[in-house]
Amino acid sequence: MALKIFNSFSQQKEVFQPLEPGVVKMYVCGPTVYDEPHIGHLRSAYVFETMRRYLQSSMCGYKVFFVRNVTDVDDKIIEKAHAQGAADLTQAVLEVSKTYFDLYKRDLRRLGISEPTREPKATEHVGQMTSLIKRLVEKGMAYESEGDVYYDVRRFEAYGKLSHQNQKAMLENVRVDKNEKKRDPLDFALWKHAKEGEPSWPSPWGAGRPGWHIECSAMSMQYLGETFDIHGGGRDLLFPHHENEVAQSEGATSNPFVRFWVHHGLITVDGQKMSKSMKNFITLDTVLKDDPRYGDEILKLTFLGTHYSAPLDYSSERSAMDRSVWKRFFEFFQNSRILDKEGHKPSEKKIPQIYALFREAMDNDFNTPDVLAVMHKLISDAYKEKDPVFTVTAASAIRNFGAEVFGIVFDQDELPGLTKDEIERFIRERADAKKKKDYKASDEIRERLLKEKKVELRDLPDGRTTWRVRL
């Protein structure tokens, strides 16, 4: 089965073949760094990390050139800096963007999300942006107005082709401002005339700064060329951001801009849109505070359990359900580890189709919920079969695929603050206490491990003692 990806442009699944054999060129809209990152930002990063991992995995074998931009100058960043009352607004903007970009990168590292091939910042590519704007002005696709430059939407007949809207419908949703310098309400800013104290750069139209939309066109074409394979982002970016990217990019080059547009669904909290004003956005710190051991891995399962294109509602009930899912994986690997110690080894002959099942699900538009369903069935079958080789074979496949594509360590050998060897030492000390009939000391060891480390000891009928983490 060939990999099929849902293309927002055609509104259907299409067989994916990159322009250049063996190489995938992929651009993703990254953060605007004006506030603390939340799990909505992390879902976006993890969705495209999973796609990237699969494309470059042993099952696909592509080399992926992955670009994720950073918007480090923007109205919201300037507003945040201005609210701080800084004497030097330009310096304050730099400090605000650095602070929140550092927090964003910290959270990505904690989730094990890889560095992109390129991570261009808007402020470092203003030259490329002014060159692209100049190209549009020279072609008559854009015009200058009192120091601002606007894209002339009426000159691009296909405007609306990505979001599948007609211009009349768009006009109904556009706020009309009598003081606007633009010719048409749908026209959008490519360059903004400098306001006093704000960060600015020189340009043929005077000092100013780039508009938001031109950033992504300039940076993506700088590193990936005028036409590339995949452009990703949240569904909220489909219009106007991505629609405007198409218009200005194709208006400048007369070439197709992107072959596959991929959009992920947004996160709600208990049915309501996650937002700062609602005071309901959830950070990774909050997730890890609730579960410092495995909160990051459980959050990944939350993301994987809903198809990337669908909205995801984050609630206490959903969190509890995903905790149970993690517990099932955890206990399965604990049982597998025991069998491995007893000398049972994986055999490809036992479950020959196992990786084909994973690939079939991923080839269907990166269907991670179906992959998890395959994994759960393997676990259920292992318990039914009661075949040690089947169990360790299933565990090996889940472990390998999970690590390579999902970036999840299902088989947790060591625990934060307590290694497996230390647990085994406590088990030996408890066994010695029982031999001496010091049952009080034996019980104290067991209770202390459970209370302080959440490690539960289990005495088996054959005299062995195993352990598991109580989630």
Distances (CA, A) of 26 to 18, 22, 54, 63, 402: 10, 13, 13, 11, 22
Is CATH 3.40.50.620 correct for 13-264?
Answer: yes
In Å, how far from its chain's centre is CA 112?
Answer: 11
* Structural contact between residues 457 and 443, judged by C-beta atoms closer than 8 angstroms: no
pLDDT value of residue 230? 98
Q: What is the pLDDT of residue 71?
A: 97
For the chain, the first-to-last Cα distance in angstroms comes to: 39
> At residue 20, what are phi and psi to the nearest 5 degrees?
-105, 120
SS3 state at 307: coil
* pLDDT < 70 stretches in the chain: 172-179, 276-277, 413-417, 420, 460-462, 468-471
Fold of 272-406: Four Helix Bundle (Hemerythrin (Met), subunit A) (1.20.120)
Question: Distance between CA atoms of 61 and 335, rounded to whole angstroms?
Answer: 33
For 350-403, how does the pLDDT look when each residue is reduced to its tens digit (9 = 90+)? 888 999 999 999 999 999 999 999 999 999 999 999 999 999 999 999 999 999
Q: For residue 461, what pLDDT is reported?
A: 65
Q: How far apart are CA 235 and CA 310, in angstroms?
A: 9
Q: How confident is the model at residue 311, as a pLDDT?
A: 96
- What's the confidence (pLDDT) of residue 176? 54
Q: How big is the chain by its Cα radius of gyration, in Å? A: 27
pLDDT per position as a tens digit, 298-316: 999 999 999 999 999 999 8
Residue ranges covered by each domain of the chain = 13-264, 272-406, 420-469
Query: Whole-angstrom Cα distance, residue 366 to residue 372?
Result: 12
Q: Cα–chain-centroid distance for residue 76?
A: 22
Alpha-carbon span 20 to 22, nearest angstrom: 6
- Cβ atoms < 10 Å from Cβ of 368: 24
- Secondary structure (3-state) at 188: strand
Longest dimension (CA), the chain: 92
